[in-house]
Amino acid sequence: METTAIEWIVIVLVSAVKMGTPILFGTLGGVISERAGVINLGMEGLMLIGALTSFVVKLYTGSTILAVSAAAFVAGAATFLHALVCISMRASQIASGLALTMFGTGVSGLLGDSLTGKTVAPLMDIKLPILSSIPLIGKIFFMQDALVYFSYISVAVIWYLLFYTRIGLNIRSMGEAPEVCDSIGLSVMKYRYAAVIIGGMMVGIGGAYFPMVLTSFWVDNLTAGRGWIAVALVIFAFWHPGKAMFGAYLFGAAISLQLRLQLIDIKISPYFLAMFPFILTIIALIIATIRNNKKKIAVMPASLGEAFFRGEKH
Amino acid sequence: MIHIFFEKRLYSSGFIRIAITICAIIFALLAGGVFLYTIGVNPFSAYSNVCSQIFTNKWGIEDLLLKMSPLMLTGISVALAAKMRLWNIGADGQFYMGACAATWVALTFGGSGNSLMLLPLMFLAGVTAGALWIFIPAFFKAHFNVNDIITTLLMNYIAISLVDYFLFGSWRDPNSLNFPITALFPPAAALPMIKNINLHIGFLIGIFIILLIYFFLEKSRFGIYVNIVGNNPNAAQYSGVNKKRLIILIMMISGAIAGLAGVIELTGVHHRLQQNISLGYGYTGIIVTWLSRAHPLGVIFNAFFMAFIFVGGEIMQMSAGIPVAMIYLFQGIILFSVLGSDVFAEYKLKIKKTA
């Protein structure tokens, strides 16, 4: 049976949401962390740590909830290293993030080596009542797996938390003017630690999405650069959870299109198609930066990347 | 209540700095040992095995210097950019593009009689390719301040796909039993060896380039500009330096050096293009830069140290079947540890009990 053009597009978009979900979790994690003023370039490593942890736990317990929680916990613990080094020990956030990526790549490659070839059962899609009967939208967004629904909730919660609560205002202030926060009695340390670690946990959940849904197996470097796409998307999304969602699905669509085009007979080499999401990321980053430069009010957190020490203004 | 806080040291010296870095590295080796222990390897016997293999065999030292060659170049490549507060995380991609362009030269002109020109042409192509591969990140960094960390890094993924495209396509050796490798290059494409030792002259080229960059930065007017822009980007505006052009130029030189590393590894070690000719040497360049605080002469020493990690990883892989990922784990831990230790050069950790 021939698939019609509409059907084909829907298939691509359904998989765009799936492909976009780990990137969305990663971007959300980056948004929380960077809003508090701390860059996390360790996302690729954290995703790998999350992916391996969830795979191991699922393999031995069979429980997805345990697997994803473990991924969040272990990724959070690894992010603690980053927080310790660049918040308490005042080191470069950039170098520390790169160290985290190396560490994550290494530790997942080392401990995951013996697990290559094993598989776990993939997570089933759940039809949401009523919502799934909306034409097109229902099929694309509401006939997905539980982790996709969790990502929707996460976007809503983080959006609300960051922009409509006192805690969120405080977190954002940490990224704009930590010295002011300090002077009114807020603990910059506590807020930044919390934001970075919660952010890292989100990234870990994004990593868990790979073995839970996308692949069902573990292989070295499973995340294949998606963590870096998430790093770029934080900027593309202007540090906003809602735009992060849009951006993640855009890139999900790019990846899904790349995979679909490989299946049908076209004359483009799969190796060129593999470059496509990365080229698109570079273009998106350039456009976003130029747009950001043109805005009168800077969107980027003003103190992003700067360590804070009390009483040491220069 | 117990208060833990940092107190600024009254004085800090180079000696304190070095001592603290050494402590950090020892700490990193111990922490790495914990991971070895979890996969059932006794870290102390593994470490002593590595040391004895390296220092009691002639090939151990040779292998160390061989691994050091690309690391010196990727190290100085990243360090040069770092002098201007630029990040070249894409040295790995430039390395691959350098190797790729050199391969194109070897496969296209290798058959012809003019073998004297083949090697220089390969070098020229590789260096040019490395420089061009960083051009897009450099241009947009200079003109629009687009994040150079992310763009240079993403170019790595594109580079690796491009290499795959050639290796799985038109460059694949028909006699390779479908392995993604090119045919062996003609002998004219091989880098000459140093006398009496199993080491190609790429090692000397590496030292030469580092000295060149050192004198360029310290003695030339151009180097002074680089230091001005690096130390105070705003002062540069007033001193009449064309900052944008300087950023592009320095990044392209940085890319060219990483491309050079790729050509040297190709012509000195592999003699054909294949996957994984870089074991993440570009990323290691970042650690080398950090450990040497972007000082060119420190790059030589720290490239040696990182080569030790690579050879150690290889020995562990051969003798105990430990995955190569061990190398990246150690690199991550070392970088973390050294980063964390930096604060102790300027500050003392104080613990105070208060009522």
3-state per-residue secondary structure call for B167-236: HCCCCCCCCCCCCCECCCCCHHHCCCECCCCCCECHHHHHHHHHHHHHHHHHHCHHHHHHHHHHHCHHHH
CA distance B167 to B228: 44
pLDDT of the residue at A263: 79
B210 and B327 in a common domain: no
| pTM, entire model | 0.93
Model confidence at B12: pLDDT above 80 = no
B261 and B354 in a common domain: no
pLDDT of the residue at A2: 61
Task: Identify the residue with better confidence: A200 or A128.
Answer: A200
Model confidence at A248: pLDDT above 50 = yes
Look at B144 and A290 and tell me if their CB atoms are within 8 Å: yes
Q: What is the ipTM of this complex?
A: 0.92
User: CB-CB: which of B144, B149, B328 is closest to A105?
Assistant: B328
Model confidence at B349: pLDDT above 90 = no
Q: Average pLDDT, stretch A293-298?
A: 76
Residues 6+ apart with CB under 8 A from B291: B21, B298, B302, B305, B338
Model confidence at A1: pLDDT above 70 = no
Which tens digits make up the pLDDT trace of B312-340? Answer: 999 999 888 888 899 999 999 999 999 99
- How many structural domains does chain B have? 2
CA distance A32 to A39: 10
Contact criterion met (CB below 8 Å) for A95 and B293 = no
Model confidence at B10: pLDDT above 80 = no
Task: Identify the residue with better confidence: B113 or A192.
Answer: A192
Give contacts of A96 with chain B, Cβ < 8 Å.
Answer: 335-336, 339
Which tens digits make up the pLDDT trace of A153-177? Answer: 999 999 999 999 999 999 999 998 8
Q: Which of A3, A20, A14, A29 is nearest to A226 (CA)?
A: A20
User: CB-CB: which of B150, B324, B332 is closest to A99?
Assistant: B332
Q: Average pLDDT, stretch A297-301?
A: 77
In a domain, B50, yes or no: no
Q: Which of B324, B305, B344 is nearest to B54 (CA)?
A: B305
B312 and B289 in a common domain: yes
Model confidence at B248: pLDDT above 50 = yes
Contact criterion met (CB below 8 Å) for A142 and A130 = no
A236 touches chain B (CB under 8 A): no
Instruction: Tell me how close the Cα of B161 comes to any Cα of chain A, in angstroms.
Output: 5
Instruction: Tell me how close the Cα of A124 comes to any Cα of chain B, in angstroms.
Output: 32
Residue in chain A closest to B155 (alpha carbons) equals: A278
- Full domain range(s) for residue B12: 1-41+322-355
User: CB-CB: which of A100, A106, A289 is closest to B330?
Assistant: A106
Q: Which of A44, A156, A147 is nearest to A97 (CA)?
A: A44
pLDDT of the residue at A301: 85
pLDDT of the residue at B355: 62
Which tens digits make up the pLDDT trace of B120-176? Answer: 999 999 999 999 999 999 999 999 999 999 999 999 999 999 999 999 988 998 888
B25 and B88 in a common domain: no
Interface mutation target, options B97, B145, B146, B327, chain A, most CBs of A under 10 Å = B146
Look at A108 and B149 and tell me if their CB atoms are within 8 Å: no
Residues 6+ apart with CB under 8 A from A46: A29, A40, A75, A78, A79, A100, A104, A200, A203, A204, A207, A227
B351 and B236 in a common domain: no
CA distance A162 to A170: 9
Residues 6+ apart with CB under 8 A from A259: A15, A19
In a domain, B56, yes or no: no
Task: Identify the residue with better confidence: A308 or B83.
Answer: B83
Tokens of B312: 């150690």
Tokens of B261: 């590393």
Give chain B's mean pLDDT.
Answer: 90
Give contacts of A290 with chain B, Cβ < 8 Å.
Answer: 144, 146
B87 and B27 in a common domain: no
Model confidence at A48: pLDDT above 50 = yes
Which tens digits make up the pLDDT trace of A175-230? Answer: 988 888 888 888 899 999 999 999 999 999 999 999 999 998 999 999 999 999 99
In a domain, B184, yes or no: yes
| Exposure of B330 in the CB half-sphere (CA atoms within 13 A) | 27
Each domain of chain A, given as residue ranges in start order, spans 5-294
Q: Average pLDDT, stretch B256-279?
A: 95
Instruction: State the CATH number of the domain containing residue B103.
Output: 1.10.3470
User: CB-CB: which of A95, A103, A274 is closest to B329?
Assistant: A103
Tokens of A20: 């976009």
CA distance B77 to B75: 5
B329 and B317 in a common domain: no
Interface mutation target, options B25, B27, B145, B335, chain A, most CBs of A under 10 Å = B335
Task: Identify the residue with better confidence: B345 or B147.
Answer: B147
Contact criterion met (CB below 8 Å) for A52 and B303 = no
Q: Average pLDDT, stretch B7-33?
A: 85
A95 touches chain B (CB under 8 A): yes
Look at A106 and B155 and tell me if their CB atoms are within 8 Å: no
In a domain, B57, yes or no: no
CATH among 1.10.1740, 1.20.1070, 1.10.3470, 1.10.1060 for A5-294: 1.10.3470
B71 and B8 in a common domain: no
Give chain A's mean pLDDT.
Answer: 91
Tokens of B23: 């402590």
Residue in chain B closest to A287 (alpha carbons) equals: B146
Model confidence at A312: pLDDT above 60 = no
Instruction: Tell me how close the Cα of B202 comes to any Cα of chain A, in angstroms.
Output: 27
Q: Average pLDDT, stretch A67-90?
A: 95
Q: Per-residue confidence at A117, pLDDT binned at 50, 70, 90?
A: confident
Tokens of B5: 């806080």
CA distance A153 to A25: 11
pLDDT of the residue at A313: 44
In a domain, B264, yes or no: yes
Residues 6+ apart with CB under 8 A from A83: A38, A192, A193, A196, A197
> Of A300-309, B92-101, B160-169, B258-267, which range is least confident?
A300-309
Q: Average pLDDT, stretch B208-236?
A: 87
Of all helices (H) and strands (E), which one includes residue A171? helix A166-176
B272 and B158 in a common domain: yes
B260 and B119 in a common domain: yes
Alpha-helical regions (H) of A62-165: 64-83, 93-112, 137-141, 146-164
Q: Average pLDDT, stretch A107-127?
A: 90
Which tens digits make up the pLDDT trace of B43-84? Answer: 999 899 999 989 888 888 999 999 999 999 999 999 999 999
B72 and B33 in a common domain: no
B162 and B16 in a common domain: no
Model confidence at A314: pLDDT above 50 = no
Q: Average pLDDT, stretch B20-36?
A: 92
Q: Per-residue confidence at B352, pLDDT binned at 50, 70, 90?
A: confident
Look at B323 and A109 and tell me if their CB atoms are within 8 Å: yes
In a domain, B49, yes or no: no
In a domain, B52, yes or no: no
Model confidence at A241: pLDDT above 50 = yes
SS3 B3: strand
CA distance A11 to A13: 5
In a domain, B202, yes or no: yes
Q: How far is CA A138 from CA A11, A12, B71, B185, in A?
A: 13, 14, 53, 57
pLDDT of the residue at A309: 74
> Can you give the length of chain A in residues?
314
Task: Check residue A217 and report its DSSP letter.
Answer: B
